[in-house]
Structure 1
Amino acid sequence: MKHELPVANHVISLISELQNAGFEAYIVGGAIRDLLLGRTPKDYDISTSATPEEVRGVFGRRIARIIGKRFRLVHVQYGGELFEVSTFRKAPTQGQLRPDGRPAKDLPEHMILSDNEFGSAEEDAWRRDFTVNALFYDPVRSELIDYTGQGIGDIRAGIVRAIGNPKLRFEEDPVRMLRALKLVGQYDFALDCATENALFNSLELIRHAAPSRLSLELEKILSSSYGDKHILAFHDYGLLAYYLPELEEAWGTPAGMFALNLLNERNCRVAEGLYRNSISLAMATLALPFVELECDHGPGELWEMSPESTARIRSVLDRLFRPQTMMNRMTESALRVLILQALFADPENLDRMVETKSYAHARELLLIRTAVMDGDVDAAARLWPAGSSGRRRSGKRPRRRKNPKEGKKSDA
């Protein structure tokens, strides 16, 4: 069907190059969903009939790089933006072998371990996870294709519907449960009945997902300005107990609620453009109340800096995000941000702090904490000015989203 969507010119140009080389090419997935909802996509994914090698041949080795084993695709640097360009896939042949050929023991029968069987655009649509993610758009011809016949309607109705058998979809790839609930949290969508029932009955399958993929999803959640809403959806549907059990165990406690309120405030500031979407700052923000608790202090109370407190901070960062494995540089950065919090108790520490590597993020966390505790953010910003190496940011408090509430359930 003909449909005009406001796609950036350099994206249209990239699609045109593939089409002019004789290949089919479309924008796929979340970008179309966002455009139909009147939102600006954070990125564009491209799908094409060209193989990864053919994509590289069109754009050249200098700007096109083939990545991945389980799912091979091409990173194309184009128009100042990085695009993921994938080849149309079809449903893979079932086989319990890992990509390296070793037997896959004790895994769900239908779990997909390799997804590199190429197919047509329609085959690619039917093997995707949810109808709202299975739309294809050709911006050159302004053509919107909905192979499932339900994607456009489900976007308008706010429904997350698995394509085909929901139980099979989650068994094929348990990470799809995370993605379903991220849609619930971020867009206020609801799961349709069959998808919801299958998800409730499949929660334990998340243990079988590749640790690297689960950790990558957590990085995306923490970098997003909707991370608090994602976490709330995980809790509402019972997934948080498997994904971040330490946080689930603290749900409803003073420390747990303070952590979610802090993350909510940080996310508001990211959405307002006041802060960058730093993963390490998000880690430190979530961990702060548990560090206070570990150091025998209440919410908002600073602890004394000491080798013992540093060890306790490291212990909290390790436990809170387990069983996911965060990159060491992110953990170390979050550690430095939290260590510096104790020094904010005395303005005399400014000179020794202001040029330290993590002062900018530590100051941001100070302002977040001050805002959540209804303190004077502007006064704190003046007392602790931005360092010469940090970006100067307004201390003005942005509009806050509704705080997460214990026991709040999705409409699904």
Structure 2
Amino acid sequence: MKHELPVENRVIELISTLQGAGFEAYIVGGAIRDLLLGRRPKDYDISTAATPEEVRNVFGRRSARIIGKRFRLVHVRHGGELFEVSTFRRAPSPESAAVGPDGRKHEELPEHMILSDNSFGTAEEDAWRRDFTVNALFYDPVRSELIDHTGQGIDDIRSGVVRAIGNPRLRFEEDPVRMLRALKLVGQYDFSFDAATENALFAMLPLIRHAAPSRLSLELEKILSSSYGDKHLLAFHDYGLLEYFLPEIDTAWGSPVCEYALNLFNERNCRVAEGIYRNSISLAMATLALPFVEQQCGSPVGTLWKNSPDARAAIAGVLDRLFRPQTMMNRMTLSAERVLQLQALFGEPKSRPEQLMESRSYAHSRELLLIRTAVQEGDVAELERLWPPVGARRRGGRNDGRNAEGEGGGGRRPRRRRHRSRRGKEPES
């Protein structure tokens, strides 16, 4: 069907290049969902009839790089941005699905779990092998053509329904990470499940243990860098996934320390969504961990914390426990540790902005200071004056709300939403 969607010119150019080389090509997945909902897509995924090698030949080796084993695709740099370009897939045969990239069978895994997904097919075959109807739409921005092979995707987006394509139990067994992605749709868009998909999710939740650790860690990074991360965790808890994904947070759920952590995380996400600050993963980690570090140290920030071996060990231990069993990159964890260690220095009478601004973690640490002050309904404006963004002093004291790294640091205090249960109950305090 003809449908005009506001797609960026560089995306149209990329698809036009593939089509000009003789290959069918579309925008697929979440970008179409966002555009139909009037939201700006975070990124655009492209799917094409061209094989990975053919995509690389079209754009050249300097601009296109083939990645992945389980699911081979191409990273194409075009117009200053990196795009993922995949080849149309068909549902893999049982024989190929049960054999990993190393050629070995993994008999201890669920019977229908897909370990190799490189069976190329047509656009329609690709749509029917996808997870949910709302993710199975194809859009050709050159011809302004919207294609819904399942016949339910457009209606489900309008109605806010997460519906598995085909047999939902089989879909979750093929790839348990689909359960996590389904709940992200529920949390981020306030969608609801159709009955069959919801029943299947509850029945198959333990299979998440079989998902590759690297894929789950990547999903956690996406949640922490998103401005909807608190909503994702809330949906995970409500449906029972959080006990498998982040058991430490699940165990603490409903306690004052966890409610405080979720409120801090919500404040951080609001500031990211409003463009006040960038979506740093290490800052998100530090924000969630702060109340648990205070609990571990037996005191609030500034009264006991010092840059001592004991304090550093306590902070490192909390970060390790809080995000286990997921494995975060060392540089993110170390950055989060520095952000938390620096919090105590903001309360030291002898601390001067000129000294702390030399720290590589000052920008993130200052943002966490403003986040916790806002949640505690303190004087954020006064702190912004006392602790200016990086570079403000070099500009003669002018504070324009931006630091030298382009990170927002001030601005109007927006109205905030505090953490609440999805069922509408007021959290315990």
TM-score range, shorter chain: over 0.9
Counterpart residue number, 2:339: 337
Counterpart residue number, 2:414: 398
Q: C-alpha separation between the residues in 1 aligned to 2:52 and 2:62?
A: 14
Whether contact under 8 Å (1:367, 1:395) holds in the other structure is no
Counterpart residue number, 2:130: 128
Q: Output one character per residue of 1:206-244: Cα deviation in whole Å (capped at 9) or x when no partner.
A: 100000000000000000000000000000100000000
State the 1:93 CA deviation.
1.4
Whether contact under 8 Å (2:88, 2:125) holds in the other structure is yes
Counterpart residue number, 1:45: 45
Q: C-alpha separation between the residues in 1 aligned to 2:35 and 2:316?
A: 42
Q: C-alpha separation between the residues in 2 aligned to 1:407 and 1:316?
A: 29
Whether contact under 8 Å (1:377, 1:395) holds in the other structure is no
Counterpart residue number, 1:33: 33
Cα RMSD (Å) = 1.4
Q: State the secondary structure of the residue aligned to 2:198.
A: helix
Q: C-alpha separation between the residues in 2 aligned to 1:20 and 1:407?
A: 51
State the 1:408 CA deviation.
4.4
Paired AA for residue 57 in structure 2: G
Paired AA for residue 334 in structure 1: A
2:118 corresponds to 1:116: yes
Q: C-alpha separation between the residues in 1 aligned to 2:315 and 2:222?
A: 23
Among all aligned residue pairs of Structure 1 and Structure 2, give the percentage whose two residues are the same amino acid: 75
Q: C-alpha separation between the residues in 2 aligned to 1:57 and 1:288?
A: 49
Paired AA for residue 367 in structure 1: L
2:7 corresponds to 1:4: no
Whether contact under 8 Å (1:126, 1:147) holds in the other structure is yes
Counterpart residue number, 1:280: 282
Whether contact under 8 Å (2:283, 2:368) holds in the other structure is yes
Paired AA for residue 303 in structure 1: L
Paired AA for residue 192 in structure 2: A
Q: C-alpha separation between the residues in 2 aligned to 1:406 and 1:190?
A: 12
Match of 1:173 among 175, 178, 184: 175
Q: State the secondary structure of the residue aligned to 1:202.
A: helix
Deviates more, 1:12-21 or 1:119-128: 12-21
Deviates more, 1:97-106 or 1:62-71: 97-106
TM-score (norm 2): 0.93
Structure 2: gaps of 5 or more residues: 392-403
Structure 1: gaps of 5 or more residues: none
Paired AA for residue 66 in structure 2: I
TM-score (norm 1): 0.96
Counterpart residue number, 2:356: 353
Q: Output one character per residue of 1:71-113: Cα deviation in whole Å (capped at 9) or x when no partner.
A: 0000011111111000000001123322101231311000000
Structure 1: 4+ residue segments shifted above 4 A = 389-392, 406-409
2:22 corresponds to 1:22: yes
State the 1:348 CA deviation.
2.1
Alignment of 1:10-409 (within 5 A): 10-95=10-95, 96-297=98-299, 302-305=303-306, 306-350=308-352, 351-388=354-391, 391=407, 393-394=409-410, 396-405=412-421, 408=424
Whether contact under 8 Å (1:136, 1:146) holds in the other structure is yes
Deviates more, 1:102-111 or 1:84-93: 102-111
Paired AA for residue 416 in structure 2: R
Whether contact under 8 Å (2:302, 2:347) holds in the other structure is no
